Amino acid sequence: MRNNEGLSTLPMGWTSAKLGEVLIKSDERFDPKSPSNRRFVGLEHIEGNTGRLLGFGKSSETRSTKTVFCRGDLLYGKLRPYLNKVWVADFDGVCSTDILVFKHTQFLHSKFLACRLLGSDFVRYASQGMSGVQHPRVSYQRISDFAIAFPPLEEQHRIVSKVEELFTKLDAGVKSLETAKTQLKSYRQSVLKSAFDGKLTEEWRRTHRDELEPAFKLLEQIREERRRSTATEYRELPPVDMTGLPELPEGWTWTRLGEIALIMDVDHKMPRSVEKDGVPFISPKNFVNQDDIDFANAKHISVEDFERLSRKCKPEIGDVLYSRIGTIGKARRAPDKRFQISYSLCIVRPSPSLQATDICVWLLRSPFVLSQALANTRSIGVPDLGLNDINRFVVPIAPLDEQHKIVEEIERHSSIADEVEKTVVSSVGQSEKLRQSVLKQAFVGKLVPQDLGDEPASILLEQIKSLKIQVEQDQRAKKRRKRNDPRQRRLM
């Protein structure tokens, strides 16, 4: 497939060309046995979509042959080209052979070409030309056939300056948005902290002081309810040691999670997964966003395995799913649908007397409970939080009416945070669209004005072609000399 986007009418002084006509590929290799210790750039060091370098290593840390690059050269990641890894070198070094190196010349602005390779149309073109399954790559021959509109050298400089100016502003905006996302996370945790130390409902509590029944009476009611239940055997947990615990508001009390909820495990025998027509099998990997469960990408198990696992315990409406192996301390409401959970999750089933819907979800997400979860996690290979530890979590309990108010206030603040986050995410996505819009305008000659005094790109292209022929002849001659001289033979 050949491209012709933007080439129907060319701006003044521009010409059309294929990348293979303007790129001069470098084949100079670096032998890792060489005592020289140069800076090494791998694909992991180049940030996708931005053209920025994140860091570098040392050639002494590599064992295979690498490609040499010089300051000003253009580096392009051919492995998984959809990752869009492009960088113009600002120092001499060596790089992975999964990176193509194109020589810097006096007839071409490397950063202009970097911008062109970052364009979404080129990324699509390169990605459609990949070969290989586990490690898909695009070949130099493939990208060489990509057609571009090629401006005069002086206009290339003007375009690069304008692109960098606009991208700097966009980057500053994205940085502010990322800061806002971090602040939102802190805001959510701050709301939960104030919810369970009494500050969130402090004013409400003051005006309803005479109407509230102390939480210890609710706790007594729950314990009596548990003693009378025939569903499970009631086991009294050790009393809470108040030493070092913060003071609670009047009418609140401390207890253990296992006193107000049943903590249930599932069968640890792994079920057989099926491709379709099965029952969704949920693990912490399916916990997405702030409050969602991703059923679309969940594994599925057979109906027989579902029924076997459900004989021990089955999620019900009102339950909380709590992650305890691998990912620790994430809580989700159990949805009203048929599914089963992996043993990396447990079920927290609040007492029926704990009528404040979702109080346990928010309690388990609070910083106070999360700190206990992390403190009790064992980590020999995979982090693991035991059911006994979860049962013994120390938790604050407010009077029942105040619990309803706590949930109402948390959800109000959470709704605000959700709306702000949607705006932030949308704005980040819009900034990437603006980035591509800037590049598109640059590639068709609409970002900066043309200048009658610029030397036409057609002349520039002929100069590049002549240089390209000379460089390729020199490279072939150098390879012949190495093949004929065993003392200087290197891996090509």
What would the DSSP string read from start to end of 171-200? HHHHHHHHHHHHHHHHHHHHHHHHHHTTST
How many domains does the chain contain in total?
Answer: 3
Is the residue at 98 inside a domain? yes
Angle at 396 between CA 394 and CA 402, to 5 degrees: 160
- Please report whether residue 8 resides in a domain: no
How far is residue 201's CA from residue 403's CA, in Å, rounded to a whole number?
9
Residue 440, in any domain of the structure: yes
Together in a domain, 392 and 416: no
The closest alpha carbon to 293, from 279, 281, 306, 308, belongs to: 281
Confidence (pTM): 0.74
User: Domain check: are 307 and 374 in the same one?
Assistant: yes
Residue 72 CA to its chain's centroid (Å): 31
Residue 199 sits in the same domain as residue 130: no
The Cα–Cα gap between 16 and 149 comes to 5
pLDDT of 487 reads: 55
How much is the pLDDT for 491? 44
Q: Are 41 and 93 in contact (CB under 8 A)?
A: yes
pLDDT of residue 235: 79
Write out pLDDT tens, residues 62-113.
Answer: 778 899 999 999 999 999 999 999 999 999 999 999 999 999 999 999 999 9
Residue 2 has pLDDT above 80, yes or no: no
Pair (377, 432) in one structural domain: no
In degrees rounded to 5, what are phi and psi of residue 81?
A: -60, -20
**Taking the CA of residue 37 as centre, how many other CA atoms within 13 Å lie in the half-sphere pointing to its CB?**
4
Q: How far apart (Å, rounded) are the C-alpha atoms in residues 109 and 106? A: 8
Distance CA 140, CA 74 (A): 14
Confidence grade of residue 22 (pLDDT, cut at 50, 70, 90): very high
- Name the more confident of 231 and 299: 299
pLDDT score of 488: 54
Non-local (6+) Cβ contacts of 355 within 8 A are 400, 403, 404
The token pair at 483 is 């093949």
* CB atoms near residue 54 (< 10 Å): 11
| One domain for residues 114 and 38 | yes
The last residue of one of the domains, among 359, 374, 398, is: 398
Do residues 180 and 314 share a domain?
A: no
Residue type present at position 128: Q
Q: Are residues 348 and 458 located together in one domain of the fold?
A: no
Same structural domain, 247 and 371: yes
String of DSSP letters for 439-473 = HHHHHTT-SS---TTSPPHHHHHHHHHHHHHHHHH
Model pLDDT for residues 241-290, shown as the tens digit of each residue = 999 999 999 999 999 999 999 999 988 888 888 877 899 999 999 999 88
- Residue 9 inside a domain? The answer is no
**Structure tokens, 481:** 């000399």
Q: Look at residue 269 in the predicted model and tell me its pLDDT.
A: 86
- Domain match, 246 and 349 both: yes
Let me know if residue 6 belongs to a domain.
Answer: no
pLDDT for position 230? 64
User: If you count them, how many residues does the chain have?
Assistant: 492
**Co-location of 334 and 279 in the same domain:** yes
Q: What is the pLDDT of residue 429?
A: 87
- For residue 265, tell me if it sits in a domain: yes
Is residue 436 included in any domain, yes or no?
yes
Q: Which residues are CB-contacts of 297 (< 8 A; sequence separation ≥ 6)?
A: 286
Q: 103 φ, ψ to 5°?
A: -70, 140
Residue where the block lists tokens 């609670």: 248
Rounded CA-CA distance 421/427 in Å is 10
**In this predicted model, what pLDDT tens digit does every residue of 353-384 receive, in sequence order?**
988 779 999 999 999 999 999 999 998 789 99
Does 364 lie in the same domain as 252? Answer: yes
Assess if residue 4 is contained within a domain. Answer: no
Measured CA to CA, the distance from residue 67 to residue 95 in angstroms comes to: 5
Mean pLDDT, the chain, integer: 91
CATH number, position 55: 3.90.220.20
Per-residue pLDDT, 492: 44
Average pLDDT over residues 154-181: 93
| pLDDT value of position 312 | 86
Statement: residue 490 has pLDDT above 60: no
Do residue 100 and residue 187 come from a single domain?
Answer: no
* 3-state class (DSSP) for residue 143: helix
* Domain that includes residue 194, residue range: 153-212+400-450
Q: How far apart are CA 446 and CA 145, in angstroms?
A: 24
